[in-house]
Amino acid sequence: MKDLWLTGTVLKPRGLKGELKVLPVTDFPDRFLSRTEYFAGRQPETAVPVAVTGAKLAGGFAWLFFEGIRCREKAQDMAGMHLYIEEKECAPRQENRAWLHELEGMKVFGCDGVEVGVVNAILPMPAHEVYEVRTGSGTVLIPAIDEFIAEISLEGGYMVIPRFDEFL
């Protein structure tokens, strides 16, 4: 199985000719204009190759046409699917940045150095991303901003959130 990385999520069809509205999950949305193929599926394990026949960016979204999808009904079947690319197609990671999949599964420590949970998901929000942290008693949402995140160690696989108790 190829190592696939999430780059977008199909939201819904637009019009009658199979165009799809895609939410980019990338720091490089302009690459939607030049990419000719994705792997589409609900999970990476079930993703299949799909060829791009048209692409544009507008309003913070990618608008894509895929080969074999020429009507609204077929496009509707793709709603909720994720678009993946192979690792070799990714741009190099910038300094002081992380790929989303590197953050998922990280241990979370509070101000006293005690483990309080694990990052379950990174949720896109209008102002900034939010870390969904699974704790022993439920789920806590933490804004992914410097004010709340004191340290992230990719090598150590952890992050420190000194004010974690404020979110309980």
Number of domains in the chain: 2
Residue ending a domain, among 56, 89, 122, is 89
Q: Are residues 31 and 84 in the same domain?
A: yes
Are both 83 and 17 inside the same structural domain? Answer: yes
Residues 59 and 16 in one domain: yes
14: CATH: 2.40.30.60
Element (H, E) at 160: strand 158-160
pLDDT score, position 128: 86
Is 105 found in the same domain as 77? no
Same domain assignment for residues 141 and 85: no
Q: Is residue 22 located within the same domain as residue 77?
A: yes
Q: Is residue 94 part of a domain?
A: no
pTM, two decimals, is 0.71
Whether residues 63 and 29 share a domain: the answer is yes
In this prediction, residue 57 carries a pLDDT of 97
In a domain, 19, yes or no: yes
Amino acid 168: pLDDT? 76
Any idea what the CATH number is for the domain that residue 146 is in? 2.30.30.240
In the DSSP assignment, the letter for residue 100 is H
How much is the pLDDT for 89? 86
The pLDDT tens digits along the chain (168 residues) read 568 888 999 999 999 999 999 999 888 899 999 999 999 999 989 999 999 999 999 999 999 999 999 999 999 999 999 999 998 888 777 787 788 778 999 999 998 889 999 999 988 777 888 999 999 899 999 999 999 999 999 999 999 999 898 887
Edge-to-edge order in the sheet of strand 107-109: 138-143, 130-135, 115-123, 107-109, 158-160, 151-153
- Please check whether residues 56 and 114 belong to one and the same domain: no
What is residue 38's predicted lDDT score, i.e. its pLDDT?
A: 97
Give the pLDDT confidence score for residue 82 in this predicted structure: 95
Range of 33's domain? 4-89
Residue 82 lies in a domain: yes
Instruction: Write out the DSSP string of 30-96.
Output: GGGGT--EEEEESSGGG-EEEEEEEEEEETTEEEEEETT--SHHHHHHHTT-EEEEEGGGSPPPPTT
